[in-house]
Amino acid sequence: MTHAGRGPVIPFEMVEPASLKEAVSLLDPQEPTIRPVAGGTALMLMMKAGVFQPTRLVCLHKIEPEHARIAVADGGALRIGAMATLSQLEHDANVAKHQPVLARAMRTLSNVRVRNVARVGGALAHGDPHMDLPPVRMLRTCWQEPPRGIQTTAGRSWCAAPGKSSVAGPTGSACRHSW
């Protein structure tokens, strides 16, 4: 089998854990060819271009639904689960009320098909400043509105280089974002 006329498709293992704990146990921070995948929009492009050849993809679609939840925490911080889609950000009432600029920005990013699939955690953890969500996140640290529980590093230190960010937690845990 070939892909886009570029040669053979390299076989890889695809696993679908039922919990975040199980997903983390299937990752190996020392093995760069093992990656979690949720929406997979950037990862699939990298695979198609031959830039990345996985040995294992850990599909996160079946993990607990609370990782996709968007809610207002005590104290007013907007809590956005790493598995929330960009479409959820665009249409969520809590986002519209507490971060209207974020909700409006989502309408201009990418296209509907990508927003329906791309996940907040993947878009931020991938660390590519040319992707849709990282510039919005970096600008968020500079906006002049009162902070609402931002618990991340400043934009310039957050994205070290394309593909490298400080979003991922210890042992590959899913990121959690407060805007």
* pLDDT at residue 143, as a whole number: 38
- State the pTM of this model: 0.71
Helices (H), 51-152: 86-91, 93-98, 100-108, 112-117, 120-125, 133-140
Q: What gap in Å lies between CA 167 and CA 174, rounded to an integer?
A: 9
pLDDT at 158: 47
Identify the pLDDT of residue 157: 47
Domains of the chain, each with CATH number or no CATH: 13-59 (3.30.43.10), 65-178 (3.30.465.10)
Other CB atoms within 10 Å distance of the CB of residue 77: 18
| Rounded (5°) CA angle 42-111-53 | 15
Would you state the pLDDT for residue 24?
93
CB burial string 94-126: b at 16+ within 10 A, e below: bbeebbeebbebbeebbeeebbebbbbbbbbbb
CA–CA gap between residue 88 and residue 83 (Å, rounded): 10
More confident residue, 8 or 53: 53
CA–CA distances in Å: residue 33 to residues 13, 22, 176: 11, 18, 24
pLDDT of 10-53, one tens digit each? Answer: 889 999 999 999 999 999 989 999 999 988 888 888 888 888 89
Single-letter amino acid, residue 103? A
d(CA 67, CA 84): 7
pLDDT in tens, 89-127: 999 999 999 888 888 888 887 788 888 988 888 877 776
Residue 147 has pLDDT above 90, yes or no: no
Q: Is the dihedral of CA 143, 139, 84, 60 positive or negative?
A: negative
